[in-house]
Amino acid sequence: MAAVELVEVWRGGLLESVHRGHAVVVDAGGEVVMAWGDPEAIIFPRSSSKMVQALPLLESGAADAMGLTEDRLALACASHQGAAMHTQRVSAWLSELGLAESDLRCGSHMPSDRPTAETLVRAGERPCQIHNNCSGKHAGFLTLTRHLGAGPEYVEIDHPVQQAVRAAFEETTDETSAGWGVDGCSAPNFAGTLAGLARSMASFASAGSRSGARAQAQQRLTAAMIAYPELVAGEGRACTDLMRACEGRAAIKTGAEGVFVAILPEQGFGVALKIADGATRASEATIAAILSRLGVLEAGHPVVQRLTAGVQRNWRGMETGRIVTLV
């Protein structure tokens, strides 16, 4: 099934651009509740699967052995902006592991938190791997590596950490992964169907009705994300703003190339969407529209209005157009 039009961008009363994609909502039993486009489309979840990548950290007992606090669990699931609240926590975490920045394998990039980036520029300093948006996830990988007594190259596909991640991905999506690629942060990223990713999110959402190490880990990670929305992304970011607006009714996570997922514990629903062209403006608008349709967000909430009926303004603040969602 082809991707369908999900978001339009208008200017001067004319349609200027359009984004196509796939979206699906599944219930606790894995049944499709709503769908747009093709739920069986094969996608890379990218960073939207960080909660799945964090499961072995908890299920193995590594998190408790290290006494990881809830804010660190949120950071393990984060694509953070590299602000002080993120980097200081990751630095302290690495210190407690007896590890250094050089033990990370995520690479360095300028933090997207603008004040932090400007401070680095003013000081004539380069960003380090702790500024990488995935550094919390990697601190989690290192914690598990230590617990397992495994080797330092924890992003290699045959490393015990990544094999445990693959198992968690395949078990919660309830399918064999379609393959894997190297993510921006160098970790393997496992591909699967969009419906599979939604089933994985539904298994997090419905974990309260199950028992066992997995269900407990899923509940704790969901609760950590909801408790620390600012650690999962950062000030002004869609994930953070949407989680705050949902007031505890959803854990929400984006992934590169137009992916978004949501865990809705009250309904036991999992949501997953992929914009075919990879555009963030479209994935943000679509997740906000779907959350609003599902009743976990008020349609009139300022964040929903901003993302789904987004007035586009130019450098002088003039209205130039609008984003319109079609879901």
In 3D space, the residue among 203, 177, 187, 325 whose CA is nearest the CA of residue 256 turns out to be: 187
Identify whether the C-beta of residue 75 lies closer than 8 Å to the C-beta of residue 53: no
Identify whether the C-beta of residue 160 lies closer than 8 Å to the C-beta of residue 148: yes
Would you count residue 12 as binding a second copy (CB under 8 A)?
Answer: yes
DSSP secondary structure string, 242-279?
A: HHHHHTTS-EEEEETTTEEEEEETTTTEEEEEEETT--
Would you count residue 320 as binding a second copy (CB under 8 A)?
Answer: yes
Strand partners, 274: 22, 259
For the bound state, the minimum distance from the C-beta of residue 64 to a second copy, rounded and expressed in Å, comes to 31
Would you count residue 135 as binding a second copy (CB under 8 A)?
Answer: no
- Residues 34-73, one symbol each (x = binds a second copy by CB under 8 A, - = not), give --------xxx-----------------------------
Euclidean distance between CA atoms 104 and 129, whole angstroms = 7
Euclidean distance between CA atoms 116 and 83, whole angstroms = 6
Size, binding site for a second copy by CB under 8 A: 49
Element counts in the chain: helices (H) and strands (E): 14, 11
For the bound state, the minimum distance from the C-beta of residue 82 to a second copy, rounded and expressed in Å, comes to 12
Nearer to a second copy, 16 or 266 (CB): 16
Nearer to a second copy, 180 or 228 (CB): 180
For the bound state, the minimum distance from the C-beta of residue 117 to a second copy, rounded and expressed in Å, comes to 8
Three-state secondary structure call for residue 58: helix
Q: Which of residues 169-228 bind a second copy (CB under 8 A)?
A: 178-186, 189, 191
Residue 274 phi/psi, 5° resolution?
-140, 120
The string over 228-260, giving b where at least 16 C-beta atoms fall within 10 Å of a residue's C-beta and e elsewhere, is bbbbbbbeebbbbbbbebbeebbbbbbbbbbbb
Nearer to a second copy, 61 or 179 (CB): 179
For the bound state, the minimum distance from the C-beta of residue 44 to a second copy, rounded and expressed in Å, comes to 5
Nearer to a second copy, 172 or 189 (CB): 189
Nearer to a second copy, 213 or 311 (CB): 311
Q: Which of residues 104-123 bind a second copy (CB under 8 A)?
A: 105-109, 118, 121-122
For the bound state, the minimum distance from the C-beta of residue 203 to a second copy, rounded and expressed in Å, comes to 23
Euclidean distance between CA atoms 176 and 81, whole angstroms = 32
For the bound state, the minimum distance from the C-beta of residue 108 to a second copy, rounded and expressed in Å, comes to 6
Would you count residue 19 as binding a second copy (CB under 8 A)?
Answer: yes
Nearer to a second copy, 65 or 121 (CB): 121
For the bound state, the minimum distance from the C-beta of residue 122 to a second copy, rounded and expressed in Å, comes to 6
- In order of 46, 50, 80, the CA distances from 166 in angstroms are 13, 12, 23
For the bound state, the minimum distance from the C-beta of residue 84 to a second copy, rounded and expressed in Å, comes to 18
Would you count residue 298 as binding a second copy (CB under 8 A)?
Answer: no
Euclidean distance between CA atoms 139 and 116, whole angstroms = 21
For the bound state, the minimum distance from the C-beta of residue 12 to a second copy, rounded and expressed in Å, comes to 3
Identify whether the C-beta of residue 187 lies closer than 8 Å to the C-beta of residue 28: no
Structure tokens that stand for 22 in this block: 């796939």
- Residues 245-284, one symbol each (x = binds a second copy by CB under 8 A, - = not), give ------------xx-----------------xxxx--x--
Identify whether the C-beta of residue 183 lies closer than 8 Å to the C-beta of residue 190: no
The helix (H) or strand (E) run that includes residue 42 is strand 42-43
Please give the residue ranges that form the binding site for a second copy (CB under 8 A).
9, 11-20, 42-44, 105-109, 118, 121-122, 132, 178-186, 189, 191, 257-258, 276-279, 282, 314-321
